Amino acid sequence: MPVAATAEARAAELNAKGINAIVEPVREGKGDCSLSNYTLLIGHADYLNVTVDKDEGDKQLKIIDAILAVRPATVATQ
């Protein structure tokens, strides 16, 4: 699957805010069995994963706040 321009733009926005963001290309049949690969392969291309060291809760909140500040509200449905 080609990397969407929006994914590249979102990563660039986060990097500009001092958040190390990368886009992971995932290919059909070559996923690593992670949740991020699985969500992309079943059609949920707007998945984000936030990873920090165990003692960096403040940094994690900063990243989440930065992501949510530029995203529309998400509503869970069943």
Which structural domain range is residue 10 located in?
Answer: 5-69
52 contacts 63 by C-beta, under 8 angstroms: yes
Could you tell me if residue 14 is inside a domain? yes
- Does residue 33 lie within any of the structural domains? yes
The Cα 38–Cα 31 span in angstroms is 7
Question: Per the domain annotation, does 75 fall within a domain?
Answer: no
pLDDT per position as a tens digit, 21-52 = 988 888 888 778 898 888 888 888 778 888 89
Please, what is the average pLDDT of the chain? 84
How many separate domains does the chain show?
1
55-73 mean pLDDT: 86
Instruction: Look up residue 24 and give its two tokens.
Output: 């992971």
Tell me whether residue 52 is in a domain.
yes
Q: Is the pLDDT of residue 63 over 60?
A: yes
Q: Say what the pTM is.
A: 0.67
- pLDDT given at position 78: 66
